Amino acid sequence: MAMTIVTGYLWGLLAAGATLESNEFQSVQWETYYEPRAGISIDYPYDWTVRSGVLRDESFYASDATLLPSVSIAVHPLPADADLVSLDAKAVAQFGAAGRMVKVEEGDIDGVPVRVIDVNWGLPLGSGLALRSRVVSMLRGPNWVLIRASDGIPVDGALLGLLQSSLDSIRLDANWSAAP
């Protein structure tokens, strides 16, 4: 799968239509998670732990032993009259009151439009530590799908290559159907 950006660039790394080749991606053993409610798969490092109940809305959450870095998938019923742009604020709100949208780009995955949202946020424990996440938001059948990558690193610098590689692995099942 190659993510193509319609406008701008992919997180400062890719020119429109380019793909990312990552040596880090090739040297890590990967496991694949498939989300049947949305027909989406994503790769994550084999040595990460798949957890449940970390965040209330995720159907999938994988992380290293410290819970960050992590990747997750949340599948929500599509709100009435919603479109991708109108859902940006809801995506950011899931990071709590400290969540702040810092960049949004449009793109597609296998021809399906996506919004890629960079979010700065803080830990709820009052530590004052500012962190960041990248969210891929898409509509898939009757669902609104959020794929989150959080690295647990303060906001300066690029997202961890490992997480970028995981996001770059997102694939859509061409045979998936929203019908029950």
pLDDT digits (tens, 9 = 90+) for 43-87: 999 999 998 767 777 889 999 888 888 999 999 999 998 999 999
C-alpha distances (whole Å) from 16 to each of 46, 110, 120 are: 30, 15, 24
Q: Is residue 148 part of a domain?
A: yes
Q: Is residue 76 part of a domain?
A: yes
Number of folded domains that form the chain: 1
Helix ranges, the chain (H): 23-27, 88-93, 161-168
Q: Is residue 35 part of a domain?
A: yes
Per-residue pLDDT of the chain (180 residues; tens, 9 = 90+): 344 332 222 233 222 333 334 444 457 899 999 999 999 999 999 999 998 767 777 889 999 888 888 999 999 999 998 999 999 999 999 888 888 899 999 999 999 999 999 998 876 655 666 788 999 999 999 999 999 999 877 666 667 788 889 999 999 999 999 876
CATH assignment at residue 45: 3.40.1000.10
Residue keyed to tokens 């999938």: 60
Calpha distance 62→47 (Å, rounded): 10
Q: Is residue 161 part of a domain?
A: yes
The tokens of 131 are what?
A: 């962190």
Q: Is residue 177 part of a domain?
A: no
Calpha distance 175→166 (Å, rounded): 22
> Do residues 131 and 123 touch, judged by C-beta distance below 8 A?
yes
Q: Which helix (H) or strand (E) holds 2?
A: none
Distance of CA 27 to the CA centre of its chain: 21
Q: Is residue 52 part of a domain?
A: yes
Residue keyed to tokens 């991708």: 84
Whether the link from the prior residue into 69 is cis, omega within 30° of 0, is yes
The tokens of 143 are what?
A: 């669902």
pTM of the complete model: 0.80
